[in-house]
């Protein structure tokens, strides 16, 4: 099967990327004709202002992929901006794609939600607001009373997210007046609230995501896939609407001009269930990720900081591994069923301390990461040799993409 898949170069890869994408690619490359690309144009959709790190991010991605075992003898590896035909096809597709298909795309809304909520949260917490007064609900009041320091911020974040969610997905869209009321109940200064809300409305954050590029990135994605006439695209559940859109665009093109594009199937990949060390989604922006490039010392430190069963305060308290992030990691990185069972039993009977349990995990994680680290060093030392793989891959893809474009231009009766 011909498979196309890409990743946005947003920084070094972490364990979440490895489990969610790379592990799957390693399997796919064994039995399929795979095209894996670094989607640098896609990285611009919401990060167009500051591109200083883009080249370095691409370099790190090349190193990470190869260090993990993505094999250029088995898959074609390339960089999106090295194949300009993607942009040409995207432009032609944008002519035949109704605007409503994009505006109604759920992942467009979700991405917008995340960016706006993230901005508001970071802005408010960055102002060092005090979260300990005028709680807006009783259950919140209870939780807040028990919380200390950082926990208060976490509770605030959760409540804010809920309040944001309440109107964001409604027909009328985000209700800023309601949001203002909620923030006032928290006792946040009016001046700070006004500033945050006005930035949300028409300040930088609004502009960052209200671009044509951001709205139409699924069209570019369709071009990325269809230009190689791919039959399969590995995706997580949240990406399914994008693949459906790709199929619709292919169908529309085929009906309007000529049967050129196959409708690719989504190859559903299981979501990586691994959370960050603080219990939130693993993400660079939360500063809670373990990177493939982390040193042994960094891994040890991060594992020691990991959240555990919140009910287990003292070593003598019995724990519950099912609600503990450390145990979630053990399930993936401790490849010894007996040891897993032992930790489970000892935790439940308060026979093992969390520090000891974390040390076992850190050790196993380091065992997993050591070969990747070593390979990374080797690639870094001689980077141009490895970069060439992607340059040659891009040249190869240009030829394939150009063949498709010849058919497309002819079908559409373009002059050139
Ligand atoms: S002993 Fe291990 S599994 Fe149990 S709560 Fe502590 S860290 Fe989690």
Query: CA-CA distance, 178 to 176, in Å (whole number)?
Result: 5
How many angstroms is it from 318 CA to the middle of ligand 1? 9
Q: What is the pLDDT of residue 246?
A: 96
Pocket flag, ligand 1, residue 347 (CB < 6 Å): yes
Among candidate residues 4, 47, 2, the one with its CA nearest the CA of residue 242: 4
Residue 142 has pLDDT above 90, yes or no: no
Query: CA-CA distance, 117 to 165, in Å (whole number)?
Result: 9
> Under a CB-based contact definition with an 8 Å cutoff, are residues 220 and 6 in contact?
no
- Number of the ligand 1 atom closest to the C-alpha atom of 346: 1
Query: CA-CA distance, 116 to 111, in Å (whole number)?
Result: 9
How many angstroms is it from 307 CA to the middle of ligand 1? 9
The Cα angle at residue 87 between residues 85 and 91, in degrees rounded to 5: 115
- Hey, whose CA ends up nearest to atom 4 of ligand 1? 347
In the structure, how many helices (H) and strands (E) does the chain have?
19, 5
Neighbours of 80 (CB within 10 A): 24
Pocket flag, ligand 1, residue 34 (CB < 6 Å): no
Which of the following CATH numbers is that of domain 2-97+216-274+383-411: 3.50.50.60, 3.40.50.620, 3.40.50.720, 2.60.40.420? 3.40.50.620
Tokens of 206: 């609004």
How many angstroms is it from 296 CA to the middle of ligand 1? 21
Question: At 171, is the pLDDT very low, low, confident or very high (cuts 50, 70, 90)?
Answer: confident
Pocket flag, ligand 1, residue 29 (CB < 6 Å): no
H/E segment holding residue 372? helix 354-381
Query: CA-CA distance, 86 to 179, in Å (whole number)?
Result: 41
Question: At 179, is the pLDDT very low, low, confident or very high (cuts 50, 70, 90)?
Answer: confident
How many angstroms is it from 260 CA to the middle of ligand 1? 55
CA end-to-end distance (rounded Å), the chain = 32
Residue 228 has pLDDT above 60, yes or no: yes
> Under a CB-based contact definition with an 8 Å cutoff, are residues 236 and 21 in contact?
no
* pLDDT, average across residues 202-219: 75
Pocket flag, ligand 1, residue 303 (CB < 6 Å): no
Q: What is the pLDDT of residues 192-204, one digit of tens each?
A: 888 888 877 755 5
For domain 294-381, give the CATH number. 1.10.240.10
Q: What is the pLDDT of residue 187?
A: 79
Q: What is the pLDDT of residues 329-347, one digit of tens each?
A: 999 999 999 999 999 999 9
Pocket flag, ligand 1, residue 361 (CB < 6 Å): no
Average pLDDT, the chain: 89
H/E segment holding residue 135? none
- Number of the ligand 1 atom closest to the C-alpha atom of 306: 7
Pocket flag, ligand 1, residue 174 (CB < 6 Å): no
Pocket flag, ligand 1, residue 326 (CB < 6 Å): yes
How many angstroms is it from 328 CA to the middle of ligand 1? 10
Q: What is the pLDDT of residue 138?
A: 63
- Number of the ligand 1 atom closest to the C-alpha atom of 324: 8
- Hey, whose CA ends up nearest to atom 3 of ligand 1? 321
How many angstroms is it from 162 CA to the middle of ligand 1? 29
48 φ/ψ angles, rounded to the nearest 5 degrees: -75, -20
Pocket flag, ligand 1, residue 319 (CB < 6 Å): yes
Q: What is the pLDDT of residue 207?
A: 58
- Hey, whose CA ends up nearest to atom 6 of ligand 1? 354
Among candidate residues 38, 23, 31, 33, the one with its CA nearest the CA of residue 70: 23
Q: What is the pLDDT of residues 298-318, one digit of tens each?
A: 999 999 999 998 888 888 999
Torsion of CA 283, 286, 292, 293, to 10 degrees: 140
Give 276's DSSP letter.
P
* pLDDT, average across residues 115-139: 72
């Amino acid at each position: 099967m011909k498979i196309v898949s890409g990743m946005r170069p947003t920084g070094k890869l972490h364990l979440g990327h490895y489990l969610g994408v790379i592990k799957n690619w390693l399997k796919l490359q064994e039995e399929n004709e795979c095209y894996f690309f670094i989607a640098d144009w896609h990285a611009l959709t919401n990060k167009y202002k500051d591109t200083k790190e883009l080249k370095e991010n691409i370099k790190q991605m090349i190193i990470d992929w190869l260090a993990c075992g993505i094999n250029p003898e088995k898959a074609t590896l390339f960089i999106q901006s090295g194949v300009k035909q993607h942009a040409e096809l995207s432009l032609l597709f944008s002519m035949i794609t109704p605007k409503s298909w994009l505006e109604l795309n759920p992942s467009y809304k979700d991405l917008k939600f995340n960016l706006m909520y993230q901005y508001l949260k970071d802005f408010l917490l960055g102002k060092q607001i005090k979260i300990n007064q005028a709680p807006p609900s009783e259950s919140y009041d209870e939780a807040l009373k028990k919380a200390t320091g950082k926990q208060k911020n976490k509770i605030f974040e959760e409540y804010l997210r809920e309040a944001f969610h309440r109107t964001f997905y409604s027909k009328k869209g985000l209700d800023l007046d309601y949001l203002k009321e909620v923030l006032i109940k928290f006792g946040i200064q009016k001046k700070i609230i006004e500033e945050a809300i006005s930035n949300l409305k028409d300040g930088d954050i609004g502009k960052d995501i209200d671009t044509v590029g951001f709205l139409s990135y699924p069209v570019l994605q369709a071009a990325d896939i269809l230009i190689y006439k791919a039959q399969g695209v590995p995706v997580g559940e949240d990406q399914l609407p994008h693949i459906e859109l790709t199929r619709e665009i292919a169908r529309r093109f085929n009906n309007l001009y000529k049967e050129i594009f196959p409708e690719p199937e989504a190859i559903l990949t299981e979501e990586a269930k691994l959370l960050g060390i603080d219990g939130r989604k693993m993400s660079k922006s939360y500063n809670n990720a373990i990177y493939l490039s982390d040193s042994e010392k960094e891994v040890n430190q991060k594992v020691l900081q990991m959240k555990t069963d919140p009910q287990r305060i003292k070593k003598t308290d019995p724990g519950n591994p099912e609600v503990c992030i450390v145990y979630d990691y053990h399930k993936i990185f401790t490849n010894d069923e007996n040891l897993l069972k032992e930790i489970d039993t000892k935790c439940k009977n308060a026979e093992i301390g969390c520090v000891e349990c974390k040390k076992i995990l850190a050790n196993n994680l380091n065992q997993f990461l050591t070969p990747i680290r070593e390979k990374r060093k080797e690639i870094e030392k001689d980077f141009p040799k490895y970069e060439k793989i992607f340059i040659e891959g891009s040249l190869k893809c240009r030829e394939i993409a150009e063949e498709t474009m010849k058919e497309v231009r002819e079908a559409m009766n373009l002059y050139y």
